[in-house]
Amino acid sequence: MKGGLVYLGVDLLGNRAHTSGVMTDNSSNPLQDDDQMTKLFAYLDQRFGDLEDGFNQRFDRVERRLDTLEGVIDTLAADVSTLKDETLVRNHQLDRRLTQHENWITQLADHSHTTLEPQPER
């Protein structure tokens, strides 16, 4: 387009930006007016502020969800650790009782003059 420029028109009330017609060298640029520039900057500042607020709200929600998940994972990890400790203690108690029962069975067999034969494992 020889000698012409495409300029951006902004509808401040309708919150829309659009390209408008071709300006010739003879036409005046509406954005050269200080009042128009001030309105444009205010509009753009508001739009970017709204976008930033939307992103911040969304990130805050994501952060809260991650914090909740982190808490749940920490709780589950603590529960697993507790169960592991309880299982180790219970296994130790069972081993001790098994050893005690084996000793009693051996003593009874000795006192009753009974020979114990190993049984095949099932």
> What are the per-10-residue average pLDDT scores of the chain (122 residues)?
48 52 51 79 92 93 96 97 97 96 93 88 78
pLDDT recorded at residue 32: 62
Please state, as a whole number, how many other Cβ atoms lie within 10 Å of the Cβ of residue 1: 8
CA-derived radius of gyration, the chain: 41
**Per-residue pLDDT, 36:** 85
- pLDDT of 78 reads 96
**Please, is 88 exposed, middle or buried when counting C-beta atoms within 10 Å of its C-beta (0-12, 13-18, 19+)?**
exposed
Burial zone of 111 (CB within 10 Å; 0-12 exposed, 13-18 middle, 19+ buried): exposed
* pLDDT score recorded for residue 31: 54
The reported pLDDT for the residue numbered 58 is 94
